[in-house]
Each structure stands twice: as C-alpha cells, then as structure tokens.
Structure 1
Amino acid sequence: MARHLLRRLGQAVLVVLGVVVVSFLIARQVPGDAAIAAEGARASQAQLDEARERLGLDQPLPVQLWHYLQALAQGDLGESLTTQQAVTSDLGRALPASLELVLAAMLLAVVVGIPLGVLAARYRRGPVDTTVRLSSMLMVSAPVFLLALAIQLTFATRLGWFPAAGEYDRALDQTSPLTVYTNLTALDALITGNWPILVSTLHHLVLPAVVLAAYPIGAVAQMTRAALLEESNQDHAEMERAMGFGRLAVLVRFSLRPAIGPVLSLVALVFAYSLVNSFLVEAIFNWPGLGSYTANAIRSVDAPAIAGVTLVIALVYVFLNLVVDLVQTALDPRVRAA
C-alpha cells in the first residue's frame, strides 16, 4: 500500500509540474500587453518599460519560467495586475464560493445519480430503465447556459419560489452580519449560528446547484448503471442469485461495492469539470466565485491570475484523482495489484 501511494504521489507531482509549465506558457501567449494591463492604457512609454522590467517581461521566457517556479515553490503565485493584490489572496476569496456551489451540485449528483443508476440496472430494458436513460442523456446534453436561463425564468422570475441571483440577501449584512472564518458562507453561518444568512444562502443556492448538478447526475446515473450491469454478469452474481438473493439485493449488497470504483473516478472528473462549468452558472446567477475573477483576468490580460486559476483547477483534478485512486485501492485490492 505504501509503495502504491508513493508511486501515485510521484505521478501526481509530475502532472502538476507539467500543468504549471503549460499554464505559464499559455498565460504568456494571451493576446495583449501585461504592462498596459498593469499601468493603464494612458501610461507613457517610460512607465511601460519600467513595468516590463518590474514584471520580468524583458527577460527571456526560460528565465521568466525559472523565476516563476522559484516563487511558486514558496507559495507565491505573483501579484494580480488588476487587483494589485496577491493572487493567492484573490483565490482565497473567490474559490470558496465556487467550491460551495460545486459541492452542493456533487452532493445532488451522488444522492440522485447513484439510485437512478441502480433502478435502471434493476429494471433493465423496462420503462424505468428507458426513462432513466433518456433523462440522463438529456441532462448530459443540455447546454448549461440554456438550462440555467430556463430554470431561472421559470422558478425565480415567473413562480418566484427562489431568488434569481446572488449568494444571499445582502440586506442581512446590516441586521445579521456574518463572521467569516472559511469564506464558505453556508459553513461560516452554520459555525457562528447565523441562521438568517444560512437560510438565505441555502435558498439562493438551490437553483444554481440544480443547474450545475444536471450533467453530473446524468453522467453518474449512466456510469452506475453500466458498472452494475457489468458486475451482475460476473460469476459471483450468478452464485448469489443461485443462493436465493433477489436481483435488487444482488445489485445493492454485492455488486455496488466493486462497481463503485468507476463511479468514484467519474465523480472526481466531473467535480473538476463542474468547477470550470460553474463559471457560466455564476455569471447567470450572479454568484461570486472564480467565474467573475477569471473573466476579469482574461479581459485584463492578467497573466498571474490566469496562471493561478489554471493551477488551482489542475490541483483539484490531481488531488481528487489521487483520493479516488486510494479509495478504490482500499475498496478493491485488485486495483493495487494492477
């Protein structure tokens, strides 16, 4: 187990290093002038030259990359050209809001998607299976922006059941100010017992979380169904049915555990995908997070911020895949021997 963990950690480090280099090079190739972004369009040539020297843009690209790696090793992602603050500080404020939204969506994906996949496998080729498969295909195929606008128009604008935008009712800042510990608004409200903001946050969270969960629910349902059907054809499933266990019992009690590995791998990939996909959802529902920060960074040719966001998303991918790999190993020793 220790050797397996070390091997996976080594692979993760190499992947992160590759992403760092690629994201740095891509950020440097974004059209525009970082010096103008830092000094403004009205800056003189002397000011622009001084900015390029301060930012190291006058040095060869390999030298810039080396300095970036040295700073990164110390936890320094550089300074944002637009906010004039450390990128780590900006991400520390923007990332939690996005994570809050994505975590809610993934919770819905697991709670809804896995049971749907079990039902589809249990009633294979029946009306339930057909309904689940068609519904999951629609959820996977639906453009997120179109789904977001439709749900917002229906449940917020016309029916008025949920707020149309925002993270919580900002009027509560005056009556029930929130003490911030983690920048996860719902968690901070729960920790401090700020029930008005907690209720308001959960109320505002419903629509964007449902929109963001549509693709993961469909993908998880399809993967669960496929993995369970594959397991149900194994010898152990035949033996369990011969012992008198019903089809549903075989699926849930005996086949779900070995089949959960591929589902967990998919959840990890979909989590990181949803983190990127949340940018559109955040824009439509005016949810404060990485979406608006990234859009401003790209618009302003803010290379340090662009590289920082790319690195954070890559780290999420690598970390989740590492965790899923270790969980799979613990659940199924066959993975360890592979």
Structure 2
Amino acid sequence: MARYLLRRLAQAVLVVAGVVVLTFVVMRLVPGDPAVTYAGPRATAAQLAQARTELGLDRPLPVQLWDYLASLARGDWGTSLRTKQPVLDDVATAFPASLELVGTAVLVAVLAGLPLGLLAARRGRGGADATVRISSMLAVSAPVFLLALLAQNLLATKLGWLPVAGEYDPELDTTSPLTLFTNVTAVDALVTGNWAVLGSTLRHLVLPALAIAAYPTGVVAQMTRAALLEEAAQNHARLERALGFTRWQVLTRFSLRPALGPVLALLALVFAFSLVNAFLVESIFNWPGLGRYAANAIRSSDTPAIAGVTLAVALAYVLVNLLVDLAQAALDPRVRIG
C-alpha cells in the first residue's frame, strides 16, 4: 500500500507540474498586456515600462517560467492585477465557498445515485429500470445553467419557496455576525452555534446545489446500475443464486462492494466537472465562490488570478483523484497490485 501511495503521489506531482507549465504558456499567449491592467488604462509609457519591470515581463520567457516556478515553490502565487492582493489569499477566501457548493452537490449525487442504480439493477429491465435510465439521461443531458435558471425562476421567484440568490441573508451580518474559521459558511456556523446563519445558508444552498447535482446524480446512477448488472452476471452471482440467495441479497451483499470500484473511479471526474459547472451556477445565484472570482479576473484580463484559479482547480482534482485511488485500493487489493 505504501508503494502504491508513493507511485500515485509521483504521478500527481507530474500532473500538477504539467498544469503549471501549460498555465504559464497560456498566460503568455492570451491577448492583452498585463502591464496595462496593472498600471491602469491611462498609464504613461514610463509607467507601463515600470509595470513590466515589476511584473518581470521584460525578462526572457525561460527566466519568467523559472521565476514563476520558484515563486510557486515558496507559496507565492503572484499578485492579482485587479485586487492588488496576493492571489493565494484571494483563492483561499473564495475557494471554500465553491467547495461547500460542489461538495454538497456531489454528496447529493452519491446519496441519490447509488440507491437509484441499485433499484434499477434489482428490477432488471422493468419499469423502475426504464424510469431510472430515462431520468438519468435527462439529468446528464440538461445544461446546468438551464436547470439553474429554471429552478431559480420557478421555485424562488414564482413560488417563493427558497431564496433567489446569495450565500445567506445579508441582514444576518448585523444581527448574527459569523466568526470565520474555515471560510466554509455552513461549517463555521455549525461550529460556532450560529443557527440563524446556518439555517439561512442551508436554504440558500438548496437550489444551486441541486442544479449542479443533476449531472453527477445521473452519471452515478447509470454507472452503479451497469457495474451491478455486470457483477450479477459473474459466476459467483450464479452460485449465490443457486445457494438460495435472492437477487436483492446477491446485489447488496456480494455484488455491491466490487461494483463500487468503477463508481469511485468516476467520482474524481464528476467532482472536476461539477467544479467547472459551479462557475456558471455561482454567476446565476450570485454565490461568492471561485467562479465569481474567475469571472472578474477574466473580464479584467487578470492573468495571475486566472492562473491561480486554474492551479487551484488542478490541485483539487489531483487531491480528490488521489483519495479516490486510495479508496479503490482499500476496497480491491488488485488495484494496488496492478
């Protein structure tokens, strides 16, 4: 297991290094001059030259790349051209809100997708199976921004069941101020016993989380169904049925654990896709996460901030992928042997 972990860590480092180099190249190929954004549109030629010197843009590209890698190694992700703050600080402030949203959506997808896939596999090719398959296909095919807009318009605007936008009621900043520890509002409110903010956050979280959860729920349900049906067709399943176990017992007691391997492998991709989808949903629901920060950075051609967002997403994906690989290895020893 230790050798497997070291091998996966080495692969993760290579992936992150590739993302860093690719991000640097894209930063230099994007149209526009970062010095103009940094110094301002009315800057003189002398001020622009000084800005290029401060940003290191007057150096050869290999030197710029080396300086960028050295800065990252020191924990310096650069300075945002728009906010004039360290990019790492900006990302550390915005990313927890996105993780709160995406984490909730993926949790909903797992809690809903696994039972739906199990139900479809149990019924075979009956009505329940057809319903789950059709619903999953619709959930996977529907654009996330369309689901978000429909949910916002119907459930929030017309019916008034849930808040339209925001992370929580802004009036609570005055009546029930929240003490931040992790910048994950729901967690901080729970830890500090701020029930007013916690309740408001959970209500604001429902619509954007459900919009993001639609796609992963459909994918998890389909993969669970396919993996269970494949396991149910193996020789061990036939033997178990011959010994008197019902189809439901075979699925839940003998087939579910090995079928979780492909589902777990899918979760890393589902997480990354959901994180990207969250950027659109955050704009629609005015959620103060990494998506809003990235949108503002793109509008202002803030290349250090764009690179920081890209690096943060890559690190999150690599970490989740590593955790999924370890979970697979724990469930199935053949994974780490291979």
What is the TM-score normalised by the length of structure 2?
0.99
1:240 is matched with: 240
The Cα of 1:248 is off from its aligned counterpart by 1.1
Letter of the 1:132 partner, please give it. Answer: V
Give the alignment of 1:57-72 within 5 angstroms: 57-72=57-72
1:117 is matched with: 117
What is the Cα-based RMSD across aligned positions, in Å?
Answer: 0.8
Letter of the 2:12 partner, please give it. Answer: A
1:90 is matched with: 90
Give the alignment of 1:215-230 within 5 angstroms: 215-230=215-230
| Structure 2 residue ranges without an equivalent (≥5) | none
1:74 is matched with: 74
> Residue 177 of structure 2: SS of its match in structure 1?
coil
Moved more, 297-306 or 166-175: 297-306
Letter of the 2:55 partner, please give it. Answer: L
2:20 is matched with: 20
The Cα of 1:337 is off from its aligned counterpart by 2.0
> Residue 245 of structure 1: SS of its match in structure 2?
coil
Aligned partners of 1:181 and 1:336: how far apart in 2? 37
Aligned partners of 2:230 and 2:24: how far apart in 1? 42
1:284-304 per-residue CA deviation (whole Å, 9 max, x = no partner) reads 111110111101111111111
1:207 is matched with: 207
Aligned partners of 1:137 and 1:160: how far apart in 2? 29
> Residue 236 of structure 2: SS of its match in structure 1?
helix
> Residue 219 of structure 2: SS of its match in structure 1?
helix
1:233-271 per-residue CA deviation (whole Å, 9 max, x = no partner) reads 111111111111111111111111011011011111111
1:30-76 per-residue CA deviation (whole Å, 9 max, x = no partner) reads 11110011011000011001000110011111110100000101111
1:318 is matched with: 318
2:275 aligned with 1:280: no
1:132 is matched with: 132
What is the TM-score normalised by the length of structure 1?
0.99
Letter of the 1:178 partner, please give it. Answer: L
Aligned partners of 1:305 and 1:124: how far apart in 2? 50
Between the two proteins, what is the percent identity of the paired residues?
A: 68
Give the aligned length: 338
Aligned partners of 1:320 and 1:132: how far apart in 2? 27
2:138 aligned with 1:154: no
Give the alignment of 1:164-183 within 5 angstroms: 164-183=164-183
> Residue 282 of structure 1: SS of its match in structure 2?
helix
> Residue 327 of structure 2: SS of its match in structure 1?
helix
> Residue 32 of structure 1: SS of its match in structure 2?
coil
| Structure 1 residue ranges without an equivalent (≥5) | none
Aligned partners of 1:27 and 1:190: how far apart in 2? 40
2:331 aligned with 1:331: yes
Aligned partners of 2:99 and 2:323: how far apart in 1? 17
> Residue 54 of structure 1: SS of its match in structure 2?
helix
The Cα of 1:228 is off from its aligned counterpart by 0.7
Aligned partners of 1:245 and 1:23: how far apart in 2? 55
Aligned partners of 1:115 and 1:93: how far apart in 2? 35
